Amino acid sequence: MSKFKKSASVPTEHASSFIDNEQSNGQTVSLYVSDPSEYRVKPKEPFVLLFYRSLLSVIVDKKLTTTDLKVILTVLDFVSQGNVVSLTHQDVANKAKLVRQQVTNSLRKLVGAEILLKTEGGSLLLNPNLIAKENLKEMKATEAYKLAAHKTPKLAF
């Protein structure tokens, strides 16, 4: 018997062959089983799903500036479930430390680039084909998803 303790993390489907292999080498094997839910990431901050290749394609194709990117990231703080953007231009300007006119120009550019989608009623929605702030399964039932289906940007990748 070895005097050194050996520890290994092995997928469940390979545990039996791992134990057999270690025992055939004269090793004593202890098996600890843990609940996989213990390893789930529990974010402390809000998060979004970002489809970076799609977004990168739009950023490159539409020649978005750092101001535009700053506005996108700031807008994420104002996005509610369903990718609905609830804000004023001044809210974004204050938070991003920009002039309101810069925000207005950038938002217009982001709508033109279809990163933000405008509904018939004038509401802004984040394009869920690029960025989603919600469970993807639930996203398919949102107005943003339905609107994006008709306005999907052409991807360069």
Nearest 5 degrees, angle CA 77-CA 78-CA 80?
Answer: 105
CATH topology of domain 49-150: Arc Repressor Mutant, subunit A (1.10.10)
40 has a pLDDT exceeding 50: yes
Kindly indicate the confidence band of residue 1, based on its pLDDT and cuts at 50, 70 and 90.
very low
State the pLDDT at residue 131.
Answer: 84
Domain extents in the chain:
1-40, 49-150
Least confident span in 25-34, 78-87, 126-135: 25-34
Residue whose pair of structure tokens reads 């490159």 in the numeric block? 60
Q: Which of helix, strand or coil describes residue 30?
A: coil
Residue 15 CA: distances (Å) to CA of 1, 7, 37, 120: 20, 13, 19, 57
43 has a pLDDT exceeding 70: no
State the pLDDT at residue 155.
Answer: 42
State the pLDDT at residue 154.
Answer: 46
State the pLDDT at residue 25.
Answer: 74
Whether residue 53 contacts residue 157, with contact meaning beta carbons closer than 8 Å, is answered with yes
